[in-house]
Chain A
Amino acid sequence: MDVLNVMLEIGGMSQGITAGLGAGMAAVGAGIGIGKVGGSAVEAMARQPEMANDIRTNMILIAALVEGAALFAIIVCLLAVLG
């Protein structure tokens, strides 16, 4: 009960902390996603070196899309801090 009160009070008075937490988690999500794509791409390039160029193009494309999702969360956190 006390812990809940303390947490509610923290959440109520500092939108900065929650925004920072959200942004950090977005960064973790982006890291995991792009890491997975990169890992699979490198593995595929090791298996079939002659397809390396195609694989590299697709890897960069998918990384940009995943990063778009993470930046979604960053924008929301920015709005939470400024609005």
Chain B
Amino acid sequence: MTSKINTLKSFSSKFGLLTIAATFAFSFAGICSAQDHHEKINEHVDDAADHENIHSEEGEGAPAGWKSWKSDGPGGFIMHHVADGHQMEWAGFQIPLPVMLWTDEGFQCFSSSNFYQEENEAHVHGMEGHAFSMGDEYIMINEVIYYLKENGGIHGIEEKVMKAEEADLLLAEIAILEKEKEKANTNDEKTSLNNEIAALSTEEKQLRKSAIITAPFDISITKNVLGLFLVMFIMVFIFLRVAKRYKKREGQAPKGIQNLFEPLILFVRDDIAVPSIGKQKADKFTPFLLSVFFFIWFANLLGLIPFLVGFNIAGTMSITLVLAVVVFVITTINGNKTYWGHMLAVPGVPKWVLILLTPIEILQMFIKPTVLMIRLTANITAGHIIILAFVSLIFLFGAGSEGAYWGVGAGSAIFMIFMYLIEFLVAFLQAYVFTLLAAIYFGSAVEEAHH
């Protein structure tokens, strides 16, 4: 009977977590659809009809990936999948995500389907990339949202871009005048040239200031944010259950999901944390190391599931930057005397070498987390790019003839499967390397002097 109550409790706790997750998800959708802006195009928007590449033959339901191939080629296809975006693409269907902006008029929230419509496509003179406009208020160029209102329509952005170009032309004129100044002999010529240069440079500075394109504060739910929420819920769900199981079965053999995660958790603690930090102090840092390890691993695995949207969570510089900054903060806060001593005045080294060594050591303090960040980002992004490149290869060669599709497809598929297996290894390996290096940095920060 108690076992039934216990199972009911554990089921209701799992159910509770699911209700929290569902409330989270649906509240976003509810808030944002309630304020749906139904503004359609107006006269200011340039028609994209002269871009024959953008309109695909299949019509509105074509997946955005295919559209990005058609308009930008394989490079655009790869970049579209690797970069962040305001919509989700699931097996051919596009699900628009809420866009949440903090503007001058307060908090605005609407669905990004207001942007992603064929009639809203625009072409901004001078700016590379795709632009989608929404009524008269916002324009999204390359997935970044800018104000359109105070510029007065899309021509406002063109005007700002042209001002920046004018400023560049002025810079070139100034350079020519400087050269003439060098050749000038008399003082009068020099002063007059100086005045001209001064006038032109002030004008150039003013042009540049007025050419800045303003953007609202964008806190929308993009693809990466959604991936972060997913990873968060998966981790909370799994580890709460594991913890509950441990509490319930004290002294008994592990069962079920405990069996899966116990070796992994012990691996992080006994093979990563304790050898690097030392047995007494490892307990302070182990929770963080566990969290980072499983976060990076699950985020990488999520990006590998086929047809699921194409998440590139750990391959985004912003997310890995935050992880690296947290590692840096923890290292700096926990640094004890030996750590700072080793950095500012390495013992056992003659004084004149210290002048060279200390700045390098201080730079090392900042470079180590930076390298952590770049290593993780580059590995994950490179893996995604390689697989996408093999896919592109099929379609590039297949444009030639029908047989080429099949031939290149077979070879490419084999390579893709091979790279996929390597990506599984890389998913685990990068998490392991990040955690290990973080543990080593923590260890060096709390190390006792041992001469």
CB of A75 within 8 A of CB of B436, answer no
Cβ proximity bits A52-67 to B, threshold 8 Å, 1 near / 0 not: 0000000011001101
Cα of A72 to Cα of B375 in the assembled complex, Å: 7
Cβ proximity bits A63-81 to B, threshold 8 Å, 1 near / 0 not: 0110110011011000000
Chain B residues with CB below 8 A from A71, complex form: 374-375, 378-379, 382
Residues in B420-444 with C-beta less than 8 Å from chain A: 429-430, 432-433, 436
Per DSSP, are chain A's interface residues mostly helix, strand or loop, or mixed?
helix
CB of B429 within 8 A of CB of A75, answer no
Residue on A nearest B79 in the bound complex, by CB: A82
Q: Which of A65, A72, A74, A75 contacts B433 (CB 8 A)?
A: A65
Interface centre among B378, B379, B430 (most CB of A within 10 A): B378
Cα of A68 to Cα of B381 in the assembled complex, Å: 12
Cα of A64 to Cα of B378 in the assembled complex, Å: 12
CB of B382 within 8 A of CB of A68, answer no
Q: Is B371 an interface residue (CB 8 A)?
A: yes
Interface size class of B (residues with CB under 8 A): 10 to 19
CB of A64 within 8 A of CB of B374, answer no
CB of B429 within 8 A of CB of A72, answer no
CB of B374 within 8 A of CB of A72, answer yes
Per DSSP, are chain B's interface residues mostly helix, strand or loop, or mixed?
helix
CB of B374 within 8 A of CB of A61, answer no
Cα of A53 to Cα of B429 in the assembled complex, Å: 16
CB of A75 within 8 A of CB of B374, answer yes
Given known A61-B436, A68-B371, contact A75–B430 (CB-CB < 8 A): no
Q: Which of B375, B382, B433 contacts A61 (CB 8 A)?
A: B433
Q: How far is the CB of A39 from chain B (nearest CB, A)?
A: 20
CB of A74 within 8 A of CB of B436, answer no
Q: Which of B371, B379, B432, B436 contacts A67 (CB 8 A)?
A: B379
Q: What is the interface of chain B, defined by CB distance below 8 A to chain A?
A: 371, 374-375, 377-379, 382, 429-430, 432-433, 436
Q: What is the interface of chain A, defined by CB distance below 8 A to chain B?
A: 60-61, 64-65, 67-68, 71-72, 74-75
- Could you pull out 29 A-B pairs where Cβ atoms are within 8 angstroms? A60-B429, A61-B433, A64-B375, A64-B379, A64-B429, A64-B430, A64-B432, A64-B433, A65-B375, A65-B433, A67-B379, A68-B371, A68-B374, A68-B375, A68-B378, A68-B379, A68-B433, A71-B374, A71-B375, A71-B382, A72-B371, A72-B374, A72-B375, A72-B378, A74-B378, A74-B382, A75-B374, A75-B377, A75-B378
